Amino acid sequence: MKLEFCCPTLFGLEGIVADELRFGGKLTDVRAENGRVLFTGDADTLIWANLHLRCAERVLVRLAAFRAETFDELFEGVKAIRWEDFIPADGTFPVKGHSLDSKLFSVPDCQKIVKKAVVTRLGAAYGLSWFPETGARCQIQFSIMHDMAEIFLDASGAGLHKRGYRANANAAPLRETLAAAMVKLARWRGREPLLDPFCGSGTIPIEAAMIALNRAPGMMRTFDAEKWSWIEAERWRTAREQAVAAVRTDLAPDLLCGGDIDPDCVALAIENAKKAGVDRFIRFEQADAVRRDYRWQSGVLFANPPYGERLLDRESAEALYRAMGRAAGGSELRQYYLTSDPEFERFYGYRADKRRKLYNGMLKCDLYMYFKPQAERRPFRAQQARGQVGRGDREVPNRTKGKHS
């Protein structure tokens, strides 16, 4: 059966997910849009996407798209879908959705209409007037934007960022999909050392190890679509076996290192890495990031330091960035910092070679990338003074006089 799919993504990750589908999934018909990626395929595509996509939030089957300005139009559009091909007589089919800038703005009312339309269609198909809803979960989702309705079936269940290894997290964990995206943006593939000196629950080094080892992120969890009767269990079994067979083991032990000042975070990171099956490749240690000696180190540094939003206050976070700049700014390491502080570069002391806007949940962040050799890394103030603010660079707003000097 030919199917259309939609993967919602965190804003900023659409292109990376599209590349995962093109290069990993070998799909040609991939379209990245704002906050989502669309593509077509079959049941095997659905399975592959769930098991292997590292940076998408979930996999939805897109069943219909139509104009709906009235409840009647919504009802008829939903009833026209061949639900009997997807939902068995005992299937559980809850409905959720959202509406934006549309005449049908009441989400609870739209939910009721969609449910009624599905029940009407399935009732006629199965000769039933009542559905026990005790069987496989087939989550229905609708989206109504500018009076256009789209109807989906959620194949994933829990979001794809839930890999199954992070039962516990520190106070401000990074979403796994975003951590994987950082590693992909840096094109780190396990050939050089990787350090995360602010590792928290270990998400970045764990995701990086999984990428280098070619461990499918969905290997350790299940998906709602695994119980769908129209996808043979054998297909899932084969795909899972192939994923296990593709795992590499030849990564140098201790190539990755995670550090945190908080011993509880270190213990948590070790526990999570064990659950992810990558603990023997990552050394976790309690260490103050600003007291490390970065001069002799080579490879890549990833950091998701405190932002002054959830952890630390703003001034302490900025003092930390200054200290980090003094410790690591002049080293040979390629460096990637994710923070929501728009003045990170000023405090860190060096202008990034490139910046990329990313969202950590709803929080707008920038990934500051330093990949030029140390000799070409220019101190932030010196560059400003010479008037070398490059194209696309953001002007740094003036701060209250004396506050941060």
* Residue number, 200 or 325, with CB nearest to ligand SAM: 200
For residue 82, with 0-12 CB atoms within 10 Å meaning exposed, 13-18 middle and 19 or more buried, which class applies? exposed
Least distance (Å) from ligand SAM to the CB of residue 34?
Answer: 26
Q: How many of the other CB atoms lie within 10 Å of CB of 298?
A: 10
Q: How many residues bind ligand SAM (CB under 6 A)?
A: 25
If the CB atoms of residues 181 and 290 are measured against ligand SAM, the closer one turns out to be 290
User: Which of these ranges, 30-38, 56-64, 224-232, 259-267, lies near ligand SAM under the rule CB under 6 A?
Assistant: 259-267
Helix (H) or strand (E) holding 303, with range, is strand 300-303
Q: Please name the helix (run of DSSP H) or strand (run of DSSP E) that holds residue 206, with its range, or none.
A: helix 203-212
CB of 347 to ligand SAM, least distance (A): 14
Where do the H-state alpha helices sit in 61-202?
Answer: 71-79, 107-126, 176-185
Per-residue mark of binding to ligand SAM, 265-284 (x: CB under 6 A): x-------------------
CB of 163 vs ligand SAM, minimal distance in Å? 12
Task: Calculate the alpha carbon distances from 387 to 131, 377, 381, 383, 391 in Å.
Answer: 70, 16, 10, 6, 12
CB of 253 to ligand SAM, least distance (A): 22
Decide: is 285 part of the binding site for ligand SAM (CB under 6 A): no
Q: If binding is defined by CB under 6 A, does position 37 make contact with ligand SAM?
A: no
Least distance between ligand SAM and beta carbon 2 (Å): 38
Collapse the DSSP code of 320 into the 3-class scheme (helix H, G, I; strand E, B; otherwise coil) and give the result.
helix
Q: What are the Cα distances from residue 268, in Å, to 169, 172, 202, 223?
A: 7, 13, 8, 26
203-212 vs 176-185: helix crossing angle, rounded to 10:
60
CB neighbour list of residue 276: distance below 8 Å, 6 or more residues apart: 163, 165, 206, 209, 210, 215, 220
Q: Which stretch binds ligand SAM (CB under 6 A): 103-111, 149-157, 254-262, 382-390?
A: 254-262
Decide if residue 87 touches ligand SAM (CB under 6 A): no
Q: Which CB atom, from 199 or from 231, has the smaller least distance to ligand SAM?
A: 199
Query: Can you tell me which of 12, 88, 91, 197 binds ligand SAM, judged by CB under 6 A?
Result: 197
Select 42 or 288, whichever has its Cβ closest to ligand SAM: 288
Q: Which of 276, 275, 278, 273 is nearest to 260 (CA)?
A: 273
Least distance (Å) between residue 321 CB and ligand SAM: 11
Q: How near is the Cβ of 108 to ligand SAM at its closest, in Å?
A: 35
Sequence-ordered strand ranges (E) for 12-164? 30-33, 36-41, 60-67, 95-100, 139-145, 148-154
Judged by CB under 6 A, the chain residues 305 through 334 that form the site for ligand SAM are: 305-306, 311, 320
Whether 180 contacts 235, CB under 8 Å: no
Among the listed residues 260, 271, 279, 341, the single contact to ligand SAM using CB under 6 A: 260
Nearer of residues 156 and 360 to ligand SAM, judged by Cβ: 360
46 contributes a contact to ligand SAM by CB under 6 A: no
Tally the residues of the chain.
405
| Residue from 174, 266, 278, 358 binding ligand SAM (CB under 6 A) | 174
Query: Which of residues 50, 139, 201, 331 is near ligand SAM by CB under 6 A?
Result: 201
Closer Cβ to ligand SAM, 60 or 265, answer by number: 265
Whether the CA torsion 32, 34, 36, 38 is positive or negative: it is negative
Q: Which residue among 47, 122, 204, 219 contacts ligand SAM (CB under 6 A)?
A: 204
Phi, psi of 172 (to 5 degrees): -135, 65
Q: CB–CB of 168/270 below 8 Å?
A: no
Rule CB under 6 A: say whether 173 interacts with ligand SAM.
yes
Q: Report, in Å, the least distance between residue 400 CB and ligand SAM.
A: 25
Chain residues binding ligand SAM by CB under 6 A are: 169-170, 172-174, 197-201, 203-204, 259-262, 265, 288-290, 304-306, 311, 320
